[in-house]
Chains A and B, each alone.
Chain A
């Protein structure tokens, strides 16, 4: 009835979009990593031809990730921050998504609207609001002093690891709840009813049915927030500013922002991307397995 080429045509705009806005820029990053700099302005000069690539900078940068070397500590810190922020986001976000999906009735749309509300304000602005709340003279400290819960105002933004992790959770949690909500909404309720009919308690039904069935949603939502968290550099800058809370993104920023070593910044980007590709691959394999199980 329809010509064979019709449906693939629908994918063309997306593919073109990906090529123009992801693949080409990413190839430029690779070109910079394996390229040189302009001798006068020290601007990056990408090497487009793979046969002319110089692998020395990438090699040296990779060595820097070995334990005890230059990037080892900051890489480890980044992984720990993201892992904690991800765990915190799931612990906070999953119950919210679960409640909205299962129990919110007339208030469901209102709650979804409230979750979407932060998207109306830019990430940067939300982080700056956080600074106003938690600065030494901020509202939180004023409240704590007023209630006499503390005698001296805590320095929330003075280079605390917890502040950065909480900042990441605060910034990214809306991006986790929405896909999680969609995944929970897709779970067939008759499966839950069957579990209850067969004698499962509510808790047992949750742990043996809902949670396993929402695993693809959890993974998908986790990937959505973990990827940008790994490259984040403005959250630690705004909510801490201390060298002891910087993340790998801050190092990329230093080398890309100026100076004669953009190839180091590009190499760091490539290494981080490769690391994230491994996580992404795990996600895709898990999803594929889950789909096979459903089909079976």
Chain B
């Protein structure tokens, strides 16, 4: 009997942590001799996927902006005052998401080390390669929703902040102690962005930002004028999240089947109306005119202007709208240090380099277009410098935009991830 109780406990723990679906848990309970009919007595309803109650990888609670999480320490940070290693120093990042000249080369020159950049296409791919050991790097770009995995899987090492004075000196105060990593024990912020709509005023006569519900542009019958020239981000969270926001939903991490079904139904409804293309190249397509209205990441608007805008084309035709704090999503990504780093001191100095105000400014304004989480970074300064067109002022987020009360796509339970992925696959199938 004691053995059976232990098995039941294991199954329930698996269910609570999201490793087992309700059906799988019921079946497993049946297999250990507990009548399926008795399962409701276990009060599955009380185990609903509520943030802060539902555990993520390794039992670490899922963080939300209003439910901060302190990640557990599985090793000690390096000691203070150590000399940097000789390298070569390896970093791991998205493709085309860091400037070679103003960021990598300056670090290389400053510390006299060779810096080797390895790139990945998606965060899924990055985590897979790091976990399988197919890449051995010192520092990696990582999104907040993956930090729990990185810590639970002992991929990351805790930071010694004495090497990273720029974190306190330059970074938004709210992101010095972010909800996803209280105390910044494993990460420093890199770039910030919101999600909204980018459009060309030379092709679209409607002032999308002035509409009562700007998201409705993808569903409006009048949008048939733009058929073939609209776009939605090729991302399960962003696309379904847009449909949720269209209906006024603000829980961007819902695991409610009915809400996701409705979002899917809405998203599919865009196909016969605006026939959106699904991609994440709006920085290019809006610039070259192959799309006129595109769900967009704010950083890609400046990226379009910096790197893709055709010579002589009027920059004032590109506009951007996002719903604002508490109604629209904001995100940031981070840099962390690998537990197996062969150059941990250099890796700390790299994080400090990333948080340097001048380095961050140059990285944004000459290459990525994505704003850093720097206190000194302002839209007015960019406009004055002639880098940012006046009408795109709203792509730059302020500290208030990303603090408590903001909407963010956060880590889901495995079951929640399945639900979002299934819904997205159905949308993508176009049938």
Interface set of A (CB-CB < 8 Å, partner B): 37-43, 70-74, 77, 135-137, 155, 157-159, 237, 240-246, 250-251, 254-255, 257-261
Q: Verify B275–A254 contact, CB threshold 8 A.
A: no
Q: Kindly identify which residue among A40, A136, A261 contacts B57, using a CB–CB cutoff of 8 Å.
A: A40
Interface set of B (CB-CB < 8 Å, partner A): 17, 19, 57-58, 122-125, 127-128, 131-132, 149, 152-153, 227-229, 231, 236, 268, 271, 275-279, 288-290, 414, 417-418, 421-422, 424-431
Closest residue on chain B to residue A70 by CB atoms: B426
Q: Kindly identify which residue among A42, A159, A259 contacts B277, using a CB–CB cutoff of 8 Å.
A: A159
Specify the main secondary structure of chain A where it touches its partner. loop
Given contacts A251-B429, A259-B418, 17 further A-B contacts (CB under 8 A): A40-B152, A43-B131, A70-B425, A73-B431, A74-B429, A77-B431, A135-B290, A158-B275, A241-B231, A243-B268, A243-B427, A243-B430, A244-B430, A254-B425, A259-B124, A260-B414, A260-B418
Q: Verify B421–A246 contact, CB threshold 8 A.
A: no
Total contacts A-B at CB 8 Å:
118
Chain A residues within 8 Å of B429, by CB: 70-71, 73-74, 243, 246, 250-251
Q: How far is the CA of A209 from the CA of B290 in the complex (A)?
A: 50
Q: What are the 6 closest A-B residue pairs judged by CB atoms, nearest first?
A: A158-B228, A73-B431, A258-B124, A243-B430, A241-B277, A155-B228
Q: Verify A158–B277 contact, CB threshold 8 A.
A: yes
CB distance from A34 to the nearest CB of B (A): 16
Q: Verify A136–B290 contact, CB threshold 8 A.
A: yes
Q: How far is the CA of A243 from the CA of B426 in the complex (A)?
A: 9
Q: Verify B431–A242 contact, CB threshold 8 A.
A: no
CB distance from B269 to the nearest CB of A (A): 12
Chain A residues within 8 Å of B58, by CB: 40
Closest residue on chain A to residue B310 by CB atoms: A137
Q: How far is the CA of A250 from the CA of B271 in the complex (A)?
A: 17
Closest residue on chain A to residue B14 by CB atoms: A39
Q: Verify B430–A74 contact, CB threshold 8 A.
A: yes
Q: Verify A242–B278 contact, CB threshold 8 A.
A: yes
Q: Kindly identify which residue among B19, B123, B132, B425 contacts A251, using a CB–CB cutoff of 8 Å.
A: B425
Point out which of A38, A242, A246, A250 has the most chain B C-beta atoms below 10 A from its C-beta.
A242
Closest residue on chain A to residue B288 by CB atoms: A137
CB distance from A257 to the nearest CB of B (A): 6
Chain B residues within 8 Å of A158, by CB: 227-229, 275, 277
Q: Verify A38–B131 contact, CB threshold 8 A.
A: yes
What are 18 pairs between A and B in contact, CB < 8 Å? A41-B149, A42-B414, A43-B131, A70-B429, A73-B429, A136-B290, A159-B277, A242-B275, A242-B276, A242-B277, A243-B430, A246-B430, A251-B425, A254-B425, A257-B124, A257-B125, A260-B417, A261-B421
CB distance from B12 to the nearest CB of A (A): 15
CB distance from B228 to the nearest CB of A (A): 2
Chain B residues within 8 Å of A135, by CB: 288, 290
Closest residue on chain B to residue A254 by CB atoms: B425
Q: Verify B430–A41 contact, CB threshold 8 A.
A: no
Point out which of B19, B125, B227, B425 has the most chain A C-beta atoms below 10 A from its C-beta.
B425
CB distance from B313 to the nearest CB of A (A): 11
Q: How far is the CA of A77 from the CA of B271 in the complex (A)?
A: 16
Closest residue on chain A to residue B412 by CB atoms: A260
CB distance from A147 to the nearest CB of B (A): 21
Q: How far is the CA of A40 from the CA of B60 in the complex (A)?
A: 10
